[in-house]
Amino acid sequence: MPAHVSSSPAKPSTKAPLSLIALQIVRESLAPDTSLPKLSHLAESDPGFALRIMAMVNSAAFGPQRHVSDVRQAVSLVGIRGLRSIGMSLALSDMIPVGEAGRILLANSLRRAVASRLLAQRLGSKDVDEYFTTGLFLEVGLLARAREDLSGAAEVARLPAVHRVMHERAAGFADHPAAGASLASSFMLPAHVEAAVLQHHSDVPPDALPSRVAWAAERLAGMWEGGDPLLNRKLALDAVLSLGLSQGDLEEATKELPDMVVAAATAFDRDIGPQQSVESLLVDVNRCLLDMTHNYDIAVRRLEALLVQKDQLSSQLIEANAQLSRLATTDALTGLANKRAFEDALLRDLSRADRDQTWLTVVLSDIDYFKKVNDTYGHLTGDEVLRQVGRVFGSKLRGSDLSARYGGEEFILILPGSNAVGGKIVAERLRRTIEALKIAGPSGELAVTASFGVAGVCGPGCAGKMRDLILRADEALYAAKRGGRNRVVAAEPESTPVPG
């Protein structure tokens, strides 16, 4: 039930905590074997609760003055469902803190409760007390937020009713209809109450009558809660008409509502101050428009801040995705493409060579005696050798070429548009540049060399030859090593004649 929402309010309250008897009565009223005598006995067992239930029964908010002075008579008059509604109402009212913010929250809740009751009366319903309770719970999502964030909940409550959900979403909070419906479910409230809470800010009137009445009550209550008074009245009139009621019903309800809201607050032993008549609200248009402008300014500033934040997050996300893409395709040590990126590029370029009937050559290279470098000078020096050789491979290429670290001390090039002769020229230039490198080592400058294997292929028919092409380059590389290292060897041409 409502008391389960939070174990402690966001702000200390001077009001006595809700009697446990109220919760017991709500639970007992849901039991299949409950009875009025049992509920009456429970109500009588707590004097504080007994006084509050009689105050509510005698209140104008619960109908004509009944002048009940005995708890048993009160229980008999309202019945099991009515007593459950009163218990739930008292539980909810105790969720609301005292103080100015609490008065605003309570007044908003009571307006919806009274508006629901007035509309149900005009529809001829016999369960007006249940409609009162349903209306009272429409703002339960906002009341629950007030337990943790009173100022934030009060800020929303001060906005015109039609703007509250937009404001909550713009601020990054769950909107109070959805949060309230979840709470109603956890409180084990009837399904029609949960549905009414969820749908009371819907753009169109709900189908089920309890939800439709609550939806109309939201718009009727909104007439007292800021914004454009003329627009608020039109929204309320359209909502009332959607129930099959008349403009006269709206006018009568708006006249009765302020006094009934005050009476309901008195029944809850709370003071919400005097409530304006609807006529005074319509006359005081300038003040309402100023309030509306202020509220719009708040919403606009918040939306502008959120848009800036969204743009920043979008830029950060784009950069993060780009960084992830670079990490996924780049060798961290040398900055060259990694094996995965090389294979993707080779598949693409082979398909293009196949389509355009052009040459494509790969150059596979291996640093000579690299294991000896690591064993003699250490892995830090070995890494520096890889970085320096990687710079050579990355700086001696055309824009269409691709260099990659193929694994360990192996590097590989893709040379689109070049045959094996051109590939051998490129490889020889790289070999000489690497041979001339002077790399700082722990015992002075260190010189290294590299061996190269070159293999070319030409379309058409080369798109499926990636594996064969790399194998031929690898065989040429091993031939270079067997021949004494620090040299370039080109693979034998393919057995199948290709265009020159």
| pLDDT tens-place string over residues 49-65 | 777 777 777 776 655 55
Quote the pLDDT of residue 99: 87
Which regions of the chain carry the CATH code 3.30.70.270? Answer: 339-490
Residue 229 or 201, more confident: 201
Side-chain-side CA neighbours of 500 within 13 Å: the count stands at 0
What is the pTM (predicted TM-score) of this model?
Answer: 0.53
Task: Specify the DSSP element, H or E, that contains 458.
Answer: strand 450-458
Residues 6 or more apart in contact with residue 309 via CB below 8 angstroms: none
Which regions of the chain carry the CATH code 1.10.3210? Answer: 2-17+94-304
Percent composition of the chain: helix, strand, coil (DSSP 3-state, to 5): 65, 10, 25
Task: Specify the DSSP element, H or E, that contains 488.
Answer: strand 488-490
CA dist 6 and 11 (Å) reads 12
Distances (CA, A) of 441 to 233, 252, 379, 430: 85, 96, 11, 22
- CATH for 339-490 is 3.30.70.270
Look at 109-118, 304-313, 388-397 and tell me which has the smallest mean pLDDT: 304-313
Per-position DSSP letters for 422-456, written without gaps between them: HHHHHHHHHHHHHHT--EEETTEEE---EEEEEEE
pLDDT above 90 (res 449): yes
Q: In the CATH scheme, what architecture does the domain 2-17+94-304 have?
A: Orthogonal Bundle (1.10)
Residues 6 or more apart in contact with residue 9 via CB below 8 angstroms: 95, 97, 147
Residues 6 or more apart in contact with residue 292 via CB below 8 angstroms: 160, 226, 227, 228
Q: Rg of the chain over CA atoms, in angstroms?
A: 40
| pLDDT tens-place string over residues 375-426 | 999 999 999 999 999 999 988 678 789 999 998 999 999 999 999 999 999 9
Residue 494 or 285, more confident: 494
Residues 6 or more apart in contact with residue 195 via CB below 8 angstroms: 181, 206, 208, 210, 211
Side-chain-side CA neighbours of 437 within 13 Å: the count stands at 25
Buried b / exposed e over 135-148, threshold 16 CB at 10 Å, is bbbbbbbbbbbbbe
**88: its two tokens:** 């739930």
pLDDT range class, residue 497, cuts 50, 70, 90: very low
CA dist 260 and 258 (Å) reads 5
User: What positions carry a catalytic annotation?
Assistant: 409
Helix axes 466-482, 339-356, angle to 10 degrees: 110
Quote the pLDDT of residue 500: 41
